[in-house]
Amino acid sequence: MLTSNKLNIFNMDLRDLENFFISMGERSFRAAQIMKWIYHKHVIDFDTMSNISKLLREKLAKCSELRLPEVVSELVSKDGCHKWLIRIDNSNCIETVFIPEIDRGTLCISSQIGCPVDCSFCATAHQGFNRNLTTAEIIGQVWLATNSLGGYTHGGNRIITNIVLMGMGEPLLNFCNVVKSIALIQDDLGFGISKRRVTLSTAGVVPALYRLRDISEVSLAVSLHAPYDKLRDELVPLNRKYPISELLKACNYYIAGKPYRRITWEYVLLDGINDSVQHATALAALLKYIPSKINLIPFNPFPEARYRRSSPETMTRFRDVLMKHGLTAITRRTRGDDIAAACGQLAGEVQARGRGRRTSQVF
C-alpha cells in the first residue's frame, strides 16, 4: 500500500477542516460543503464536487486527498451478517462487521490493529498488537460499509442505525483518534448517527473514562466478565492495573448527573469459569445500585481457545438470578459465527510488534 505526504481529509473533523480552509485563504464554510460531499453523497473525487470552484479543487488535489483503507474481501453469513476484511497497510488487516436486525442495523468497527489488553477468551488478543488506527482508518470503516450496503433502504430509512466500537482493539487506548471519529459519526454533517446509538466498549481504562465523560456524548459498554478481582485478573489482565472497585467508581462518575445514561455490562459466559449461581449472585450485588443493562454473551470459540461455551440451561439460570435481583439482563443471540464474525472472534491479519511473527486471518 502506497503512502502519501498529502493531508488525508478523512482524518479531519469539522473544526479541523474549517482551520484547514482558513489556512488556505478560503472561507470556513467550505468545510461544510466538503463534508456533505464526502458523508452525505459519498463522493471522494474532488473533480466531481460541482459547487467547489475549479481553482479550489486544483488546490485541494495538490495538498490533500481522500484516502480510504482497502477492502480485501466481504463475507456474508447465512443470517445476513456482513464481515469485511480491510487492509490498513502492507502487513496488517482489520475486520468490520454489520449485524442486521428487524428494527436496526448495527455496525461493529475496530479501533486498533490487534489489541494489547490480552483478554484470554478473545481471538483478537491472540493476534497480538501492532498500532492504533488513525481517524481516517476508523471512520473509513463506516464509509466503506455504508457505501457497500447502499446507505439507505428504498423507503429512505438508514441501513446502518447503530455503531459500536466493539471490534478489534481497546478504544480508550486510542483516545484522541476514537473521540474524533465519534464526533464525525455523530455530526449532522458527518454520518448523523444519534448520540444514544453510538456505543464505545472498553475493558476499563479508568483514567480515560474520566476524560471521556466530559468531552464526548457516547454510550458506554464495559467488558466485565467476572464479579471478583481474582477471576477478572485472569480473564481481563487490565484489571490488575484498574481493579473492579476503581472501574465501578469511574462508571458511576460517567453517568452521574445524566439520567438518560446507563452502563451496559458485557459478560461472556465460560463453562465452569464464571457461570455459576454464586457468580450471578455476586454480580447482582456488585451492580445493584448502578443503572445497568447486562448483556450475557455466549462464548464464541476460535482456534487455540481454551474455554467452552456454557450450556443453554446454565445461561438461562444465570440470567434468571440477575433478573430475580431486579437487574435487566439479556442473553445475546450469536450472529455471524459461520464466518467468524461473532463477538470475540474478530482476528484480521496482524503483524504483532515485538513478536517477530505474522498471524493469519481467521474466518
Q: Let me know if 119 is a catalytic residue.
A: no
- Parallel, antiparallel, or unpaired: how do β-strands 219-223 and 198-202 relate? parallel
Please answer whether residues 65 and 4 qualify as being in contact, where contact means their C-beta atoms are separated by less than 8 angstroms: yes
DSSP string, 6-75: SEEGGG--HHHHHHHHHHTT--TTHHHHHHIIIIIS----GGG-TTS-HHHHHHHHHHEE----EEEEEE
Residues 6 or more apart whose CB falls under 8 angstroms from that of 291 comprise 255, 261, 262, 263
Options 81, 93, 108, 343, the catalytic residue: 343
- Parallel, antiparallel, or unpaired: how do β-strands 357-358 and 351-352 relate? antiparallel
The single-letter DSSP state of residue 78 is T
127 phi, psi to nearest 5 deg: -85, -15
Number of C-alpha atoms within 13 angstroms, CB side, residue 240?
8
Distances (CA, A) of 279 to 76, 78, 263, 305: 36, 34, 19, 22
Options 95, 137, 266, 349, the catalytic residue: 95
The single-letter DSSP state of residue 160 is -
Q: Let me know if 93 is a catalytic residue.
A: no
Please answer whether residues 205 and 170 qualify as being in contact, where contact means their C-beta atoms are separated by less than 8 angstroms: yes
193 phi, psi to nearest 5 deg: -80, 135
Coil, strand or helix: which one is 357? strand
Give catalytic residue positions: 95, 343
